[in-house]
Structure formats: structure tokens, C-alpha cells
Structure 1
Amino acid sequence: MSLSIAFVGAGPTTIYTFCAFLRGMTGAAEVTIFEEQPRAGLGTPYRPGWNDPAMLSNIASIEIPPIGETLIEWLARQPRARLVRLGIDPDEIDEHAFYPRLALGEYFLDQFNGLLEDARGRGIAVEIASSCRVTDISAASDGLHLAVSPRRGDAFERIYDRVVLATGHQWPEEPEVRPGYFLSPWPATALQRIPPVAIGIRGSSLTAIDAAVALAVAHGTLIETEGESIDYRIHPGAEGFCITMMSRKGLLPESDFYHPIPYEPLSICTPEAIEALVVADCDQLLDRSYDLFRAELRAADPDYAARVGLDALSLEEFADRYFVDRIAADPFEWAEADLAEARVNFAREYTVPWRYAILRMHEVLGLIVPHLEEEALERFNRYLKPVFVDEYATVPHLSIERLLALHRTGHLDVTALGDDHRIDTHGKESGAVVTMHGQRRHFPAFIDATGQRPLAAEAFPFPTLLEQEVVRDAAEDDAASIKGIVVDAQFHPVSAHPARDRLFCLSIPFLLERHPFIQGITSSYEMGNVVGAELAAAVAATGSAGGEGAVCQEKRA
């Protein structure tokens, strides 16, 4: 008998998981892919309407793991008209370039359709259940029961042998949750109704930049001329348009910097060295890991280590020293100088050693996070995580150019909130009132663009799995302040329920607390490889053993 498998969600995580599954699979399977949106294969970060055409992806093309083909190969075979429509210069395709989110959406959609064709050509039954929302899941002796609510027609229930949850980031379809206050910058079409007023944006990462650019093109025109700096011209009548981006430190992200891909191996702060500390159940796991971090950084760039006095810096002191020069500088002057340096380094193919060392260590140090006690986790998040985020969340050069153009024309500023600030979004006035440094400022429109935060288990969209304790609240087994659910190395929920082996949880918001660096396409690829291989092994085992597989059953509600 064939194994029945359901994917809940049809974005990049499901695509990479399905790809790995097909690569390793021999035998028979019946696959259903549920997607709440009308079209499967795009993913929220790349959907039309959800994203403005001016929004750029946060990953260079060379870093995107191939599916049927690489992004560059796909771009090279597209008609010029399609590339132009996607905002891509057909003569400037480059593996280090950052492309519009909508272009990545079309790439993933084409790859997804290619996988479907391959699967069906191999005799694998695949159903795409788009415009269908899975409202709950329950475990029973005959499998996992999915309650499904289609956009049209009657609700129904289906039973599957294996279920992969890949529901992605969770944002409301209507982000304006109170007049003038936007809980997120998505969908970008909602931002177009904000009038040309004083607008506050909380955050200064690429998410915040995306929001600023979407607003800028709604009220003016960014004029990009090859070889010249970008200009910004406001539309007549929109002269009151201005944006203030704000974050705790008041810094802009740095420009993408040149470095080898794939990463060169580390020599001291290696996964093996970190895992040895974890296995030893070290009481000082964070500080011992920081010692490895410091030794690797010193070996990679002795001049940098001497300049910052690395040997004498505690974990907390290193974080302060890392940012001190930028905090003292004007953020736009720093951004302009950093952009110029990054461009020179790309032209020379020169890698800044200390930056590359920190970038390569972020995933290695991430291995300790599931094992940290509450106090150590708080220290990691406050002092070390911001350093890592600063290095891996660098942004496209074009994004920095656009910010500089908005600032030059008086339509953008950046401010530091500091630790003692208050943002009031529940007052009588629209938007938000921000109190910082003893001063009160009202923004008629205010957008929270700080990105996806870890979600508590109470927000998990399938409550019966929690009630049955197939999925457990991390706070029950961990510190009360820890959010989300706990999964093992194969992304099964950690619980005593026998159905846990049938379920895979790749829903990122519920994993972020203990896996802070799993956001993004490369994480989708890595998680997908793990889960896809296990699904393929389950199919093989079913075929050889005569089958646990139950043909997918359907019950109308």
C-alpha cells in the first residue's frame, strides 16, 4: 500500500522538502499539498500583492540552493520581456546580485511546477488543494486527521499517515489593526493607502527598508541611472511625506560584503567543538562557547583583535565594542562610507576577515541555544545574537542607495529609541505616540517592521494537537518565558505521544526561540533535506514491510 502524506503550506520550505523527498524516494505515495492562498508554490515572502515590485530579496542569488536548476540558470533562459517586467536588467544578471522578491516568487513557482511534473511522471499521485485552510489536526490510531475548510464548498476531513507543517510566518491579511497602526508592512498594497504624512517605522532591517521603499514609490519616484547616484522626486501634493525609522541603537544595516560561498570551514569554533561542550553538559556553555568564538576571531584577523582589545573583552563588552564606532557616527554617513568600501571590496574580490569569521560562526553558535538555561539564553539574545544578525542580515547595495536618496531629499531619518522608550498605539490619536529621551512625538501612521517574533504555543494553529499533547508547549518543559514548541533533530515534536513520529513541524515562528537563525531560504533547504529524506525512508519502509499506509480517506463535515 502507498503512504499518504500531507503538506500544510506550499512555500519554499515545502518545495525544498518535496524536492528532497522525490530525490530519495522509491515506492508508492499519495501526496496532498494544502495551501490557503489561491495559488500554491509562491510563499508569503514572494507573493504578488503581498510584496511591492520594488522590494528586494534578502539573499544573493549564489546563496539560493538550486531545486531543478539554479536561479541564475532560470534567469538566463527567461524571455527579456519577462525579466523587464520583473524589474531585472537582462544584461546585468549576476550570481552575487539581489533580485526582487516577486522574481524569486516566479522562480519558486516554476520549480514547484517542475517538481509536480516530475512526481506525476513517476506515477506519484499529487493533489494541490489550494484555497483550502487546514483548521485543525488531531491524532488517532488510523493516522492524523486534518479538518479542512475550503474557500468554496463544504468543510471536510482527511486522514494521512504523515503530515508536514510548513505554515511559514504568520501575519494578518489586514495589517492595519487600529487606525493608522500597522502590525506589519505586509501586504504591501495596504501601505499604499497611507497618506503623505509623518510616518514612523519601527525597525531598520531589510523589512523596514522594504516598507520605506514601498511608501516612497507610492508618493514619489526613485530615479535610478546607471553610474550615477539615485535621485528621489516627490509627487506634487505629497510634500508632507517623511519617514522616521527607529530602532534601539538607531543604526542602519551594513551593505552586503564580498565573501566566498560556500563558506570556508572554521578551524577552532567548529560544530564538533561546540557539540563537545553540549555533550559534556558544560555549566558555562555560553561563556565556553564565547571563548571558542573569540579564539576563532583572533586567528582569522589578528589586527582586528588587537584593535578592539579582544583578549580583554567579556561577552557583554565585545557586543558594546562591536557597535561603538557606528553608534558614535551619523548613520547615513556611516552607510555611505560602508557602501563605498563594500563596492571596492567586491571589485577586488577582497573579504574582510573578521566579518567573514563572525558570519560563519553564527550558525555554529546557534547550536548551543536549545541547551541554554534561561539566564544564559537572555544573555545570548541581548549581547551575541545582535552581532550575528548584523553580519548575516546585511542588505543589497541598492537598498542602501535608496535610503541615501530619501535622506538627501529630506524624506527619511533614523533615530535611536534607546532602552527607555514607550510606543503607545492605543490612544485617541491615529498611528502611534512615541516617547523617547523625555520627548513625545506623534506619528499619524506607524508600521511595526521588526519582523517575525517567536510565537507562544497558545498561537499554534492546530489546538487539538496541543490538547492531545502530541505537540507540547516549550514553557512546560523549559522556563516559563520560553515561547514555542520543542522539536527534535528530525523536526518531530518532542512528546510521549505515539503520533509524534507521524508529524513534522517546520513552522518557523514556533521554533525561533530555540533556533534563532532558521529564518530564510537556506534554512528551508536544510530543514527540507532532513524531513524529505525521512519521508522517503518511510515510503521505502512501507513498501518493504507490506504497508502501514492507508489510502487517504475523506469525510465531509
Structure 2
Amino acid sequence: MKKIAIIGSGPTGIYTFFSLLNNKTPLSISVFEQEKEAGVGMPYSAEDNSRLMLANIASIEIPPLFITYLDWLKTQSQTHLARYGVDKNSLHDRQFLPRILLGEFFRDRFLAIVEEAKKRGFAVQVYESSCVTDIDAHADGVTLSVNNKPFRENVDLAIVATGHVWPDEDEATRAYFSSPWSGLMDAEVRPCHVGIMGTSLSGLDAAMAVVMQHGTFVDDQFRLAEKSQKLKMTLMSRTGILPEADFYCPIPYEPLAILTQAVAEAEIKKGADGLLDRIFTLMVKELRIADPQWCDAINLHRLNADTLLDAWFADRKKHDPFLWAEDNLQEVVRNKHEKRTVAWRYAVLRLHDVVGEIVPHLNKKDSERFKMGLARVFIDNYAAIPPQSIRRLLALREAGILSILTLGNEYELDIGNDRTVITTQDTTWQFDVFIDARGQKPLKTKDLPFPTLRKQLLATGDEIPDVGEDYTLQAPESLCGRVAFGAIPWLMHDQPFVQGLAECAERGKAMAKAAEKPASRPRRKLFFVEN
């Protein structure tokens, strides 16, 4: 049997394993998971989340694993679901449910995949509490080190399906947390002034991790405990803009009329020079067909790939973020009840996948333009958050606990042992506890946790791993066909929309093909855009 190692058993690893079942010849598959329980994934584990934290995706959007998430939920007891505040009788496929519950689904489906693989004649071994600490690809295969010791046998293909990379918990203090997942969940945060850097989903997660220690949400109101009256929280970012609520739209997505996949591929073949601007022109035509009234309202015909960002956020910047959130929530709830789709929002949502395909083919200048402009528009659109999360933010504001701070582009951040100070040209703020919640940052080859693989890749001079269509490493030659690299932080440079469960499933499907044959052509270009 061909021997396959899957390193990491979160969503990317699970969907890769699931796709490997399509291999006509049974495989020997070894799954390595550094945590105590395989098949959950850090974003959905009980250790890294509270029951207040909602998954940012509904069942209708989650790729099935033999069955859908909704079908699995219907097999759970009313008592079990009630522990998460979920009523079994009101389940539907557009609900946003606690992240930990989704983790249970993935664990159950992982075990189902293991069982099915064995039925089909696959040899399967699952190694839990087993951290792969090195990867050495050579002529005889791939040698792994597990928990700093050589694994007993080589494999033919190592699939790197590790997920997000957060700073070590050792960096956390009583006054500072380098991410919401670096010791915050286990820490006791005293009632004080808490500053949270980031106003998107990660910032909201940090806020929920804090407030769960000091009160409860009841009927969209927050009741602060008597002993916690000194608690104040400030969410902050350069713009001070909150994400909008998830909006209703047809799923699966309706086809685009102008900027289709085939059209985008044809534009890519014309060359990198002018590619971004050509694609933007096609975007404008697509949006004009979808919603001409909105296009006129923002003067889209006068905008370009660099100026759309300002127009996109212009109206929101003029309003109080909480008032905007309240109005947006009401609109979203009304539209979902009426099953009404806002045409321009839906068009932008469908466009992001197609436009994302051009990013590896942009020249260096246009890559930077895209990152600073259109990428932020698309991310704001598709990263809309559950309406319930908006309700909780509004409840915290009404309770007098939460405020929003707009920092602007120029500020100084001074992290001290007992407090953090932020200084702008006009004002200084002091925070007793500070949480950096700006999300996953793109990483470079030098950040790889596998010493031998890191040395091999650095010898090529590439600052980011060069992968093919099936995500196998393309250089040096000794690695070709032996390591499939699907680790999100290292893919984010030219795949800005790589995060998400649908993307995990697509990546897993692509990497599973590496078990059959090498990639036919490179996926990415060989240059790096500094962040």
C-alpha cells in the first residue's frame, strides 16, 4: 500500500481523509494529531472556545461528510442540544450554532471516516497527542519525527494539514494576551478596563471570553454580576468599523453573468500587466447587471480597484458603529424573514471566489494594490457574522460595558508588565488588560515548525512555499510529489480567501489527488508581497 501521513486532523485534515476514500486502490493512512482528541480542530475545540462563541457558518454551507451537519444535529438528543442553548424542534439549515457543537460533529464524522476507510480495505492508524516535529523528504520517501523522536517508518506522501498558528501561551501575562487563543480561555480576567485590538470576528471572540466570566446573556440583554461592576471593554481598530450581520441569499450560489471562471482564466492568460484593472472592469459590469441602482448610488462608474474600498465603507464611517449595527441587524432579520436577497451584496459574495483566482498571477505592484483595496472589500462582505453576535454586542453596549475606539493609521502601542498604553496624536488610553485579536497573520518559510523541511525550502530562496495545483511542494526537486502543503498561514499570501470550511474541503480534495499523481503545473508565482 502507498503510505500517506496526514499531519493535523482539523477540518483540512478531515476533508483530505474523506477525499482519499475515493482512491481506487486502498491506502495506508496515518493521522497525527497533537491534541488529545483527533478530528475536532482548534477552532471548534472545547479547550479553545466557550459555549457563547458561535460558528461563523451554517449547515447549508458546510460540505457534508457522508451526511450534512443538520442531519447529524437531528440525531442528537434534546437534552444534549439544550446544553448549548439549542432547541431541537427549531433546527434549520441556516442556523449559527456554538462552535463547540460543530467540533462534536467533526469528531463524529472523523470516526465515521476511519470506520468506512477500514471497511474499504484501507489500513488506518490514528496517533493522538502526537505532534509532528520534523519532516524530511528524500529519495526513499518522507521521514517524520513525532514528539521529537523518529517515527518508525517512512511514508510516501506527507500531507501538511495543520491549521492556524497562534503565539505560545507562555507569552501571556495577567495583563496581556497575544491572541484570544493564547491562554485567555483559561485565564481569570479581573473586572477592569479591557482593551481588545480588533473589531472583527476574533475581537468578538475575545470579548465573549471575557464577559462570560462576569455575567450572562438573557433575552438579548446582558446581566453583569454585582462583583464585576468595574468591567469595561473597548474594541478598537484603525477604522473602528464593526462587521455586518450575515445576510440572506440563495445557496448554492447562482452563476455569474459576466465575470465567470472561464472569463477570469482567459484574462489570466493575457498576462499579469493590467490584469487587476481588467478584472475590475468586468466586476463593474457584473455589479451593474445585478444592481444598477446601488452602482449609481456609490458612483461605481467613477471608481477603480484602488478607490472602491473608500466608497464601500464611506457611509458606515459617517455613523456610530452601534447604530449602524442596529439598523443593519434589523434589515438582515427582515430580509431573512422575507427571503429577500440584496443584489449587490450577493454579487460581491459570488465574485470573491472568482477574483481570488487571479491573485497568484498578479505582478508585485498589483498584488499590493489588491491586498490594500479589493481584498478588504471582499473580506468585509463574506466575513459577515451571525446576527446573534450583533445582538450580543448591542446588549453589552446597552449594559454600559462595551465601547468602540477608532485609532486611525497613526498610533503607538506600548505593552507593559501591568498595563498597555495606546497613544495617538490627540489622546492616550490605558488598559489594565490587553488582548491582541487581529486574527491569523500570514507566515513565511522561515516560520515553519519543521526544521529539516524549513532548511530545504529556504535553500530554494523562496520566502513562501511554492505549491502546485494539488498543493504538493514544487521545489526543491527532492520534495516534489512527497509533501502536500495545505497549512493556512503559509497559503494566505496569494490565497487571501483560503480560510473557511468550504475552502478546507476544496483544499482537501486537491491534496487527496497527490496520492495518485504529481501536480500538472505550479499554482503560485515566485514572488512575495511583504505585509
TM-score by length of 1: 0.90
User: Could you tell me which of 429, 436, 445 is aligned with 1:448?
Assistant: 436
Deviations 1:135-155 (A, max 9, x none): 1111222100001117xxx66
Q: 1:295 to 1:473 in 2, by over 3 A?
A: farther
Once residues 491 and 249 of structure 1 are traced to their aligned partners in structure 2, the CA distance between those partners, rounded to angstroms, is 35
Contact 1:471 1:495 in 2 (8 A): no
> What are the within-5 Å matches in structure 2 for residues 147-546 of structure 1?
147-149=145-147, 156-174=151-169, 176-186=171-181, 190=185, 192-224=187-219, 230-425=220-415, 427=416, 429-469=417-457, 472=460, 474-475=462-463, 484-535=464-515, 537=516
Farther off after superposition, 133-142 or 332-341: 133-142
Once residues 439 and 474 of structure 1 are traced to their aligned partners in structure 2, the CA distance between those partners, rounded to angstroms, is 42
Deviation at 1:80, TM superposition (A): 1.0
Letter in 2 for 1:508: I
Letter in 2 for 1:90: K
Contact 2:144 2:150 in 1 (8 A): no
User: Could you tell me which of 106, 110, 115 is aligned with 1:112?
Assistant: 110
2:18 aligns to what?
19
Letter in 1 for 2:164: H
Contact 2:47 2:185 in 1 (8 A): no
Identity of aligned residues (%): 40
Once residues 464 and 159 of structure 1 are traced to their aligned partners in structure 2, the CA distance between those partners, rounded to angstroms, is 15
Deviation at 1:538, TM superposition (A): 5.1
Letter in 2 for 1:185: P
Letter in 2 for 1:174: E
C-alpha RMSD over aligned residues: 1.7
**SS of structure 2 residue aligned to 1:326:** helix
Contact 2:58 2:94 in 1 (8 A): yes
2:70 aligns to what?
72
**SS of structure 2 residue aligned to 1:413:** strand
1:7 aligns to what?
6
Once residues 175 and 208 of structure 1 are traced to their aligned partners in structure 2, the CA distance between those partners, rounded to angstroms, is 21
2:26 aligns to what?
28
Deviations 1:246-295 (A, max 9, x none): 11110111011000111111111122222112111141111111111111
Deviations 1:382-432 (A, max 9, x none): 11111101110001010000000000111001111111112122x3x4242
Deviation at 1:68, TM superposition (A): 1.6
Once residues 73 and 467 of structure 2 are traced to their aligned partners in structure 1, the CA distance between those partners, rounded to angstroms, is 37
Letter in 2 for 1:68: F
Letter in 1 for 2:479: A
Farther off after superposition, 463-472 or 359-368: 463-472
Deviation at 1:11, TM superposition (A): 0.6
Once residues 184 and 175 of structure 2 are traced to their aligned partners in structure 1, the CA distance between those partners, rounded to angstroms, is 15
Letter in 1 for 2:275: L
Once residues 471 and 64 of structure 1 are traced to their aligned partners in structure 2, the CA distance between those partners, rounded to angstroms, is 39
Once residues 239 and 192 of structure 1 are traced to their aligned partners in structure 2, the CA distance between those partners, rounded to angstroms, is 19
**SS of structure 2 residue aligned to 1:298:** helix
Deviations 1:434-486 (A, max 9, x none): 112421111111111111010111111112123234985643xxxxxxxx322
Deviations 1:168-223 (A, max 9, x none): 10124516534511111015753641111111111111111111122111111111
1:553 aligns to what?
none
Once residues 365 and 517 of structure 2 are traced to their aligned partners in structure 1, the CA distance between those partners, rounded to angstroms, is 40
Contact 2:276 2:305 in 1 (8 A): no
Farther off after superposition, 515-524 or 191-200: 191-200
Q: 1:538 to 1:306 in 2, by over 3 A?
A: closer
**SS of structure 2 residue aligned to 1:159:** coil
1:61 is aligned to 2:59: yes
Contact 2:412 2:424 in 1 (8 A): yes
Deviation at 1:487, TM superposition (A): 1.3
Q: 1:394 to 1:473 in 2, by over 3 A?
A: farther
Deviation at 1:46, TM superposition (A): 0.5
TM-score by length of 2: 0.94
Farther off after superposition, 299-308 or 465-474: 465-474
Once residues 391 and 459 of structure 2 are traced to their aligned partners in structure 1, the CA distance between those partners, rounded to angstroms, is 45
2:528 aligns to what?
none
Deviation at 1:496, TM superposition (A): 4.0
Once residues 312 and 357 of structure 2 are traced to their aligned partners in structure 1, the CA distance between those partners, rounded to angstroms, is 22
Deviation at 1:340, TM superposition (A): 0.3
User: Could you tell me which of 129, 133, 156 is aligned with 2:127?
Assistant: 129
**SS of structure 2 residue aligned to 1:158:** coil
Q: 1:322 to 1:189 in 2, by over 3 A?
A: closer
Q: 1:80 to 1:179 in 2, by over 3 A?
A: closer
